[in-house]
Amino acid sequence: MTLDRVKRGQFFKIASIMDDLTRTQAIRFGLTEGALLSCEEVVPAGPIVVRRNSQLLALGRGLAGQILVEPAKVNVRC
Amino acid sequence: MAQCHGSVGLKNMPGGSRRIVLAGNPNTGKSVFFNHLTGLYADVSNYPGTTLEISRGRFGNDVIIDTPGVYGISSFNDEERIARDIILSADVVINVVDAVHLERDLFLTQQIIDTGVPVVVALNMMDEAGRQGLTINAGLLGDLLGVPVVPTVAVRKKGFAELKEHLPAARAGHMTPGLDGLTDRLLALTGSRGEALLVLEGDPVVAGRHGLQPQNRREEIYLKRRQRVNHIVRQVMGETSRGASFGSLLGRWMIKPATGLPILALALYAMYQVIGVFIAGTVVGFTEETVMLERYEPLVQDLAGRFVERESALGTILVGEFGLLTMTFTYLLGLLLPLVTGFYFFLSLFEDSGYLPRVATLVDRLLNGVGLNGRGVIPLILGFGCVTMATITTRLLSSERERRIAIVLLGLTIPCSAQMGVIAGMLAAVGGLYAALYALVIFTVLVVAGTILNTVLPGRPTDLIIDLPPLRLPRADNVLKKTGTKSFNFMKEAFPLFALGSVIISVLQVTGILEFLQDLLAPLTAGWLNLPKEAATAFIMGIVRRDFGAAGLTDMALTPVQTAVALITVTLFVPCIASVLIIFKERSKQEAAMIWGGSWAAAFLTGGAVSQLYGAFGGGTGSRGIVWIILACLGTAVATVLVCLLIKRRGRAAAERGPGGG
């Protein structure tokens, strides 16, 4: 599943990021492969807002489509 | 690219002094530190080869240099390249870190530490972190990083004394594990650990300086660094409480279209009420009419009259209709100052509250249509303040393509606050329908121009990646200070250009060239736009400053339609001299000249089309004609978008069939 398909409130882990440049940019923002994120908001046809710890990031839909994620199995602390 | 002036970019360094460099992510409060440490004696200059401004100031015997806010140092954009070069040549780096975004900010911190330069970390915004229930063990953070860490609250001047105390203790910190072996091998070739690191990270410019091939280990190093930072953050940070506050709920509403668009509309409406109605009407009525026109101008004319003949050429240039001492001061102080201050007040409010990035998220999809991403909304909104400044801020956009589109749209369609003030006043006088016509025509031009550029220029808009800071109540002192500084800087910048403009116009008037140009443009103004031929003066003045152009129309007797047509034309017309100079600086000469010429064409084509359509739809028979023009506008916009979509789809299909067809 790609990141643009996640639903609000869902927890997931980043499996892989396809594009090279996107991947290095993402690492700076803390989005590494294996990072645990939650989806804060999905703007219809627009960006996906994800939360990683206390940080909120808005990712354009095209970018989100390049990030492969897998749903996190365990419910983490809220 | 690979200039061999080493890594030093600034001249006139006093001998024997140390270079203390301030570095940090965007919006961490670096400038507050800079202002506090250097006092009043800052020297702002352009970084060689760019228009990015770099501030330098004295701190005792040493020099303090500010850097642009970046998330890392590499060659991704101008800001990073400059920050990289200044940091590589630093003797000490003061790294300002936002305590609320520790995980994000420490990536840069660790990268700076990895270059081997001595570092002190200012752990800023500790109050905000506390409010959000975050606790950070600064002592432990210092031990783990291997450099002094000083907690600060810059806006309240907390921690500055401690920071100064710890400055001599700055030292090279603990590198990312596994890196030292790699850099050691390159050290002999580059002569510095920092440069060796950047060669390893694949920085082509730094590698080129040493005649080396950039190495392809960026991702490996970034991942190691990221892991280390995450590890450190886990150890030093604790969360005492969390939970959905009102702020986060409101923040969510701001992003969702169903609630976000009404909130945005409300914010813009409030802005319009304050700036467009209250300031442009009541305040300017007092400052321009009562103070400047009734008191100041007669006084200065009287004074000047004692020394020069009022009707002489010199008299006209000094205190005539467009006089240096009369019009320049009246417009600048009576009209511009209140408007610009009002605008910057709102902008500071939006900036300080964390609303701007949320607007960027909300409108991302819409701006994709005109070839920008959500970030593009910041220069576009800024453009309503001052197109010149907005043109400079297009640097924050991620690609050349986006900068080009944003600059064209700014120059063509966005009226600056000064012009808006005049326009709003004139539109209010002719009624809502004409105001709607004006707004729709300008909006159509924006959509059409943006969509066409997005189709014609190769490539596609880059994806948005923006950090949403916590929503907070803006601090009054912060907002006021920002408003004050920005307004003052604007005035400082605008004054000479304004004065120059008034001299040019007066000279044209005295020599009779103005009248000659009026006659020359008459077929355009009178024949095609159906305006009085004197309107040409407004356009000629508009070349100098946009609001000159609009203001030149206020004294003319125009019908409502003529008003709308004149305002549309003058809005789309070339940006002011200051903006044009900046455009020439930022883009190639050829491109800048095309933008300038293109605005002439777009302005007269659009204005004329509206005027001619109005005639074709029956002219003076009331509002029917206007409604038809509005519909024609919407039709044009929709048609353009559809055609462009079609072209794009075809292009994509062809591309898929082409090379990959086997």
Q: Give the separation between CA A78 and CA A40, rounded to whole angstroms.
A: 13
Which strand ranges, in their side-by-side order, compose the sheet holding A36-42? Answer: A67-71, A11-17, A36-42, A48-52, A55-59, B465-468
pLDDT at B52: 59
pLDDT at B405: 93
**Residue B159 and residue B187 in one domain:** yes
**Residue B348 and residue B219 in one domain:** no
Shortest CB distance from A24 goes to which of B134, B218, B373? B218
Give a yes or no: residue B313 inside a domain: yes
**Residue B395 and residue B496 in one domain:** yes
Give a yes or no: residue A76 inside a domain: no
Contact B107, A28 (CB under 8 A): yes
Two tokens, residue B12: 């006139």
- B411 Cβ contact list (under 8 Å, min separation 6): B387, B391, B574, B575, B579, B583, B595, B596, B599
CB contact under 8 A, A57 and B218: no
**Residue numbers of the domain that contains A11:** 3-71
Instruction: Please identify, among B189, B209, B239, the residue that sits at the C-terminal boundary of a domain.
Output: B239
Two tokens, residue B311: 């009707």
CB contact under 8 A, A46 and B362: yes
Q: Which chain A residues touch B125 with a CB distance below 8 Å? A: none
**Residue B120 and residue B263 in one domain:** no
Closest CA to B536 of B551, B558, B514, B557: B514
Which residue of A28, A39, A42, A43 to mutate against B (max B Cβ within 10 Å)? Answer: A28
pLDDT at B279: 85
Give a yes or no: residue B474 inside a domain: no
Give a yes or no: residue B573 inside a domain: yes
CATH of residue B153's domain is: 3.40.50.300
Two tokens, residue B287: 């400052």
Q: Give the separation between CA B99 and CA B128, rounded to whole angstroms.
A: 8
pTM here? 0.75
Q: Give the separation between CA B221 and CA B182, rounded to whole angstroms.
A: 10
**Residue B601 and residue B637 in one domain:** yes
CB contact under 8 A, A60 and B374: yes
Q: Can you list the residues of chain B whose pLDDT is less than 70?
A: 1-15, 40-53, 239-247, 493, 544-545, 618-622, 656, 658-662
Chain B CB within 8 Å of residue A19 CB: no
Tokens 């950039």 label which residue?
B214
Give a yes or no: residue B587 inside a domain: yes
**Residue B191 and residue B261 in one domain:** no
Contact B533, B525 (CB under 8 A): yes
Which class for B77: exposed (0-12), middle (13-18), buried (19 or more C-beta within 10 A)?
A: middle
Q: Could you report the predicted ipTM of this complex, rounded to two decimals?
A: 0.90
Give a yes or no: residue A77 inside a domain: no
Contact B91, B18 (CB under 8 A): yes
| Gyration radius of chain A's alpha carbons | 11
Contact A11, A70 (CB under 8 A): no
Q: Give the separation between CA B266 and CA B270, rounded to whole angstroms.
A: 6
Two tokens, residue B577: 């001299």
Instruction: Please identify, among B239, B264, B286, the residue that sits at the C-terminal boundary of a domain.
Output: B239
pLDDT-based confidence at A68, cuts 50/70/90? very high
**Residue B299 and residue B162 in one domain:** no
Q: Give the separation between CA B362 and CA B256, rounded to whole angstroms.
A: 7
**Residue B184 and residue B297 in one domain:** no
Two tokens, residue B207: 């590698």
Give a yes or no: residue B6 inside a domain: no
Q: Which chain B residues touch A43 with a CB distance below 8 Å? A: 255-257, 361-362, 364-365
pLDDT at B661: 40
Q: Which residues of B513-538 are buried (b: 16+ CB within 10 A; e: fewer)?
A: ebeeebeebbebbbebbbbbbbbbbb
Which residue of B71, B229, B468, B472 to mutate against A (max A Cβ within 10 Å)? Answer: B468
Give a yes or no: residue B14 inside a domain: no
Q: Give the separation between CA A71 and CA A48, rounded to whole angstroms.
A: 16
Q: Give the separation between CA B225 and CA B230, rounded to whole angstroms.
A: 9
CB contact under 8 A, B467 and A60: no
Instruction: Please identify, among B239, B266, B287, the residue that sits at the C-terminal boundary of a domain.
Output: B239
Shortest CB distance from B364 goes to which of A22, A46, A52? A46
pLDDT at B48: 53
Shortest CB distance from A27 goes to which of B223, B242, B368? B223
Q: Give the separation between CA B394 and CA B405, rounded to whole angstroms.
A: 10
Give a yes or no: residue A14 inside a domain: yes
Give a yes or no: residue B479 inside a domain: no
Tell me which amino acid residue A3 is.
L
pLDDT-based confidence at A75, cuts 50/70/90? low
CB contact under 8 A, B239 and A27: no
**Residue B218 and residue B118 in one domain:** yes
Shortest CB distance from B463 goes to which of A28, A49, A60? A60
Q: Looking at the 3D structure of chain A, how many domains does it have?
A: 1
**Residue B122 and residue B259 in one domain:** no
Contact B577, B543 (CB under 8 A): yes
Q: Average pLDDT for residues A35-62, to the nearest whole number?
A: 88
Give a yes or no: residue A9 inside a domain: yes
CATH of residue A15's domain is: 2.30.30.90
Chain A residue whose CA is closest to B354: A56
Tokens 């240039």 label which residue?
B317
Contact B198, B189 (CB under 8 A): no
Q: pLDDT (tens digit, 9 = 90+) per residue, A38-48?
A: 998 899 889 99
Q: Looking at the 3D structure of chain B, how many domains does it have?
A: 2
Pairing of β B92-98 and β B119-124: parallel
Give a yes or no: residue A50 inside a domain: yes
Paired strand residues for A12: A37, A71
Closest CA to B421 of B351, B360, B489, B341: B341
**Residue numbers of the domain that contains B162:** 19-239
**Residue B269 and residue B229 in one domain:** no
**Residue B401 and residue B522 in one domain:** yes
Give a yes or no: residue B2 inside a domain: no
Which strand ranges, in their side-by-side order, compose the sheet holding B149-151? Answer: B42-46, B53-59, B62-66, B19-24, B92-98, B119-124, B149-151
Give a yes or no: residue A78 inside a domain: no
Which residue of A53, A76, A78 to mutate against B (max B Cβ within 10 Å)? Answer: A53
Distances (CA, A) of B11 to B41, B43, B50, B62, B585: 17, 12, 15, 15, 21
CB contact under 8 A, B465 and A24: no
C-alpha count within 13 angstroms, C-beta hemisphere, residue B176? 25
Q: If interface means Cβ-Cβ distance under 8 Å, which residues of chain B face chain A?
A: 71-72, 76, 100-101, 103-104, 107, 132, 134, 218-219, 222-223, 226-227, 230, 239, 242, 251-252, 255-257, 357, 360-362, 364-365, 368, 373-374, 460, 462-468
Contact B417, B544 (CB under 8 A): no
